[in-house]
Structure 1
């Protein structure tokens, strides 16, 4: 963490000086990167593969709260949430651009921390930083990341490929990021009321990390390659399980049966949700920001996934007229409704 006593005003460097300073340590490792930072545009060569491109925008006060989000974690997460979209297409990310808009309240050392987090993510996921931009902002911190990747043309997976009878699967566990957010929000309110009270996050590392430092699931894509698994449809869980299921079903023109008892929820997520008086299943269905992969596979691939510890079969695809339904633990049938993250809703939790 930088020391405010030794902060450096960004105006001392200027825009081009700042870009040069921040990107001085950037290394190019991907063979597909012909030209990275230093010219008017990056030059990439993917030969005969399909090119995948995705962009995400993160806004202070909407997508993150700097009162409890460390800047290094923010840079790391900004990259992760974008890479997740490439993996959701059954591709592998290879490059990103990283752009940032910031107000005069941010010294150079703060911006360094954001970029350091981004570069840590790039190194971990074998991704080149090939460009970006910096600009002044009068509305707080803004981060925009574009990720670029590739997929074999016959292996790219869309949301629209699910067929009746396919198995509905998800990686990892769900709801942890949302419950972690509730914990951080609670501690923020306690701190605002009494700044002398330190945050109490002991024993909650897992769900706090699920919120502050998510991991895109490249490992699941590599698992698909290893075991010959070819999803028929796929999407990442950014807005909650319910929303993502409905996206796949709408795009594929199918229905589904989801079994509540099959939804993977970590014990810490479950217990903490109960402490907050929340239904753990609702947290998984509507919480979002888990960045797991939700996908469908033909029943013929059941043997390839049945023993994968990090993949859960949570239901199956039905004909469109059957609708999208969840079978509760008590055997009741409920329509699946999208109640997850809405980018244009008020950020005030009291208005939700």
Structure 2
């Protein structure tokens, strides 16, 4: 008898696993416009499109209670989920929260989580409308399903980038990653000497980027006000390199990123050097920045620069056969690799 084949999930990785799952499922309803493979599922509700997305945070993998206050965990769980709605050029309105808890969690701890979630819901003007609670053998898991809508002529997928399009990114990159490095460093010092106080002075920006990120609703609103619809868009949760490769794969194009234009905040830059990390590595591979990466027709690039605040043009879209790469300050080309967050 032939021995059953066993493939470790780590051999495929998160995105290889998603591709495998996608090949196994099919759509049965005409209302399913877009399923697996983008930031959200897209459903036709007649008047416009419904957007659905889910994001999961697992204790010990995505948050550490030694330095993550429960209110911040709740806030971040909401933000990471609704960021996907904004990445489709949509507007979130409702979320459902599934919560698995071990016996170490008290009622008061759950209340702290929900205070954070409600704070985010209030800020982004969304409703928490239900969910599920169950027990866990270890730690906590939060899974947030976000619901939103987008006008049919405003929908933006990952797959619309065209050769010659200008590549833009919002905000700055690498801060959340450096915040994580500082928090983990101080955790290790504390474990070795519990009498030591954490040294976080001067690192407010990067620690804040890690513990309390924000979704870029303002950029989506600015694009709408300027009547600009990107050709493709994705949020940066796994790192700029990874997201460029997702966009390239979905759009069947190549992506060129210019190192000199990648936005890095000064504290992020200085801290990277202090920790012997190349700042461009922090920016390209860090992840959890929740900024938006998008492309526009080159004829609209000037208008984006003039009318959409906190955006910078960092590259260009090429033909697929040219590949995806980073052009250094010395005009050297380095292939983009997905070195950001790895789930498996």
The bucket for the TM-score relative to the shorter chain is 0.7 to 0.9
Match of 1:327 in 2: 327
In 2, the alpha carbon distance for the partners of 1:121 and 1:188 equals 27
Give the CA deviation at 1:133: 1.1
Give the SS at the match of 2:80.
helix
In 2, the alpha carbon distance for the partners of 1:122 and 1:140 equals 24
In 2, the alpha carbon distance for the partners of 1:309 and 1:281 equals 23
Match of 1:184 in 2: 183
Give the CA deviation at 1:162: 0.1
Q: How does 1:259-274 map to 2 (within 5 A)?
A: 259-274=258-273
Match of 2:202 in 1: 203
8 A Cα contact 1:167 1:316, kept in partner = yes
In 2, the alpha carbon distance for the partners of 1:242 and 1:235 equals 12
In 1, the alpha carbon distance for the partners of 2:267 and 2:109 equals 32
In 1, the alpha carbon distance for the partners of 2:237 and 2:84 equals 9
Match of 1:226 in 2: 225
Match of 1:117 in 2: 116
In 1, the alpha carbon distance for the partners of 2:272 and 2:96 equals 36
Aligned length: 300
In 2, the alpha carbon distance for the partners of 1:67 and 1:218 equals 30
8 A Cα contact 1:228 1:304, kept in partner = no
Give the SS at the match of 2:257.
strand
In 2, the alpha carbon distance for the partners of 1:47 and 1:125 equals 25
Match of 1:156 in 2: 155
Give the SS at the match of 1:315.
strand
In 2, the alpha carbon distance for the partners of 1:251 and 1:214 equals 26
State whether structure 2 residue 37 is matched by structure 1 residue 54. Answer: no
In 2, the alpha carbon distance for the partners of 1:331 and 1:165 equals 19
8 A Cα contact 2:219 2:309, kept in partner = no
Match of 2:171 in 1: 172
In 2, the alpha carbon distance for the partners of 1:155 and 1:315 equals 23
- 1:245-273, Cα deviation, whole Å (9 max, x unpaired): 00001100001221000000000000011
Which residues of structure 2 form unaligned runs of 5+? 1-44
Give the CA deviation at 1:47: 6.5
Where do 4+ consecutive residues of structure 1 move more than 2 Å?
none
Query: TM-score, normalized by length of structure 2?
Result: 0.86
- 1:114-168, Cα deviation, whole Å (9 max, x unpaired): 0000000000000011111111111211101000000001111000000000000
8 A Cα contact 2:166 2:298, kept in partner = yes
Give the CA deviation at 1:99: 1.6
In 2, the alpha carbon distance for the partners of 1:245 and 1:142 equals 29
State whether structure 2 residue 339 is matched by structure 1 residue 339. Answer: yes
Give the CA deviation at 1:309: 4.0
8 A Cα contact 2:222 2:309, kept in partner = no
Give the SS at the match of 2:134.
strand
- 1:260-292, Cα deviation, whole Å (9 max, x unpaired): 000000000000111101011011111100000
State whether structure 2 residue 68 is matched by structure 1 residue 69. Answer: yes
Alignment root-mean-square deviation, CA: 1.2
In 1, the alpha carbon distance for the partners of 2:276 and 2:243 equals 25
Give the CA deviation at 1:303: 2.1
